[in-house]
Amino acid sequence: NAGVTQTPKFQVLKTGQSMTLQCAQDMNHNSMYWYRQDPGMGLRLIYYSASEGTTDKGEVPNGYNVSRLNKREFSLRLESAAPSQTSVYFCASSQDPLGSTDTQYFGPGTRLTVL
């Protein structure tokens, strides 16, 4: 039971390059989330998927796209990376949506640097 896994752990991109961050969970959770964490700031929600087949924008969606591939997997794509997207990206999952008291489980994070 690995929980929430993310790949890659580290990535360096040049401005304008594209890439996809992968996330998978093995807890049979309905809801999945992508956050970014910048120094001195709280985590900010990029996109979330309340259930398989649905996705919604969070607080900072610009420059990103997501795909809920199936119940287990939720990917985040940067089409044309910019230095402002340098950050640590966390994927999370929960059984119930955000408004519940259900626990969110976070992955280990992906450290992305855009030069």
Partner 1 sequence: KNQVEQSPQSLIILEGKNCTLQCNYTVSPFSNLRWYKQDTGRGPVSLTIMTFSENTKSNGRYTATLDADTKQSSLHITASQLSDSASYICVVTRYGNKLVFGAGTILRVKS
**C-beta closer to partner 1: residue 15 or 103:** 103
Token code pair at residue 46: 């990029």
**C-beta closer to partner 1: residue 17 or 106:** 106
Q: Which stretch binds partner 1 (CB under 8 A): 13-21, 34-42, 62-70, 73-81?
A: 34-42
Regarding 21 and contact with partner 1 (CB under 8 A), the answer is no
Tell which positions 64-93 bind partner 1, by CB under 8 A. 90, 92
Token code pair at residue 71: 């119940």
Per-residue burial over 58-97, b = 16 or more CB atoms within 10 Å of its CB, e = otherwise: bebbeebebebeebbbbbbebeebeeebbbebbbbbbeee
CA distance 114 to 94: 30
CA distance 53 to 14: 32
**C-beta closer to partner 1: residue 4 or 24:** 4
User: Which residue of 1, 40, 53, 62 would you call a contact of partner 1, by CB under 8 A?
Assistant: 40
Residues that bind partner 1 (CB under 8 A): 4, 40-45, 59, 90, 92, 97-99, 101, 103-109
